[in-house]
Amino acid sequence: MLADFAISNEQVLRDWEVDQSLYGKYDLSGIKDSENEPCPRVWDPVHMCWSDSWKEKLYDVEVNYYDQQYDLMAFRLSSQDKLPEPRYISDIVNFGIANPELATNAVAELLEQLYHTDKYQVMITTDGYNQWFQPSRLTSFRYQNNRHARGLIPPHDLALVRLLMRFDGNFMRNGVKLAATTHKHEFNVICDPVKDMDFYDGYHCRMSNLTLNDFRNAMDYYAITGWMHESLTDPEWQLENLFMETQGNWAKFRQQREKALRIYY
């Protein structure tokens, strides 16, 4: 993620100086000093146990191992032997790329700078936002007693995901955050954003089908990025035929393409 960000924003990052008053307030897992514990100890009335009851099942050797790991992780990006005073945003990004164990910390520091800049306009986009509130595919015995997770780690308990899943675009000083949801495989998702989700009016929109020109640009983009092996804009009649059959609907386009490929091969 940091590598892609560095490439797409290379020129800006070289000239963007770090606001030192904002730097160094995040720990290794991206938690700000002024924030509360992200995964607090809570009582489960159904299973009659605490959320950290898994600790009772650890052997002494495991306890000692985790204690050593906690000691090793008791530093942050701004430590004197790491990156105490970066001058440019590119310094933070490149240090996170070169030191994977500090990558999440680097993302947290980067987001803090992005959220509070006056010099640059910032846009953060997130697709499939609703998927981030479902249990992940990562298993852990620590969540066996969680009736919602059922042994799967919730996304909020993953450090990097927790940084990116916040619906907090209203806290950005000079930018906007766009979040899109998808409900192809979900149920009971048709709702009024204002009445059912407490969204402010104007903070939501429903995507319509693509126009012909947007559809044409999308097909070119998919060919350039390798999503498709060939461009569908040449010949033009092929693209217009697909547009007529799908009315600019991306899901229908995929179905038509798969059907055409099966017939061809």
One domain, residues 138 and 255: no
- Upstream peptide bond of 100 is cis (omega within 30 degrees of 0): no
Is 204 part of any domain? no
Domain holding 76, by residue range, is: 2-197
Q: Are residues 155 and 69 in the same domain?
A: yes
Mark whether 188 and 228 lie in a shared domain: no
**Residue 119 lies inside a defined structural domain of this protein:** yes
Same domain, 182 and 220: no
Single out the residue in 166, 197, 228 at which a domain terminates.
197
What is the pLDDT, as a whole number, of residue 190?
67
User: Per residue in 163-208, pLDDT tens?
Assistant: 998 888 889 999 999 888 776 666 666 677 777 777 777 777 777 8
Q: What is the pLDDT of residue 100?
A: 92
User: Tokens 């945003």 sit at which residue?
Assistant: 89
Given 167, 197, 227, the domain boundary residue is: 197
| 29 within some domain | yes
Is 172 part of a structural domain of the chain? yes
205, part of any domain: no
pLDDT (0 to 100) of residue 133: 82
CB 144 within 8 A of CB 92: no
16 and 131 part of one domain: yes
82 in the same domain as 154 = yes
* Residue-wise pLDDT tens digits, 16-50: 999 999 999 999 989 999 998 888 888 888 878 88
The tokens for 235 are 């010949």
At residue 162, the 3 state secondary structure works out as helix
> For 65-81, what is each residue's pLDDT tens digit?
888 887 777 789 999 88
Is 41 in the same domain as 69? yes
Report which residue type is found at 125.
T
Q: Are 41 and 86 in contact (CB under 8 A)?
A: no
125 and 71 both lie in a single domain: yes
SS (H, E, C) 214-252: HHHHHHHHHHHCCCCCCCCCCCHHHHHHHHHHHCCCHHH
Is residue 97 situated within a structural domain? yes
Q: What pLDDT is attached to residue 69? A: 80
Residues 109 and 114: their CA atoms lie apart, in Å, by 9
Same domain, 86 and 115: yes
Domain boundary among 162, 197, 232: 197
139 and 234 fall within a common domain = no
Q: Do 126 and 253 belong together in one domain?
A: no
In a domain, 31, yes or no: yes
Q: What is the arithmetic mean of pLDDT over 70-95? A: 90
Residue in 108, 124, 89, 100 with CA at minimum distance from that of residue 33: 108
| Residue 9 neighbours by CB distance under 10 Å | 15
> pTM for the complete prediction?
0.76
Residue 202 domain-assigned? no
Phi-psi category of 247—alpha, beta or left, where left has phi over 0 and alpha has psi -120 to 50?
left
Tell me: pLDDT of 11 over 90: no
Number of domains in the chain: 2
Q: At CB < 8 A and 24+ separation, what contacts does 78-81 make?
A: 78/23, 78/24, 78/109
Q: Taking 50 as the threshold, does the pLDDT of residue 259 lie above it?
A: yes
Q: Same domain, yes or no, for 184 and 256?
A: no
Residue 265 pLDDT more than 50?
Answer: no
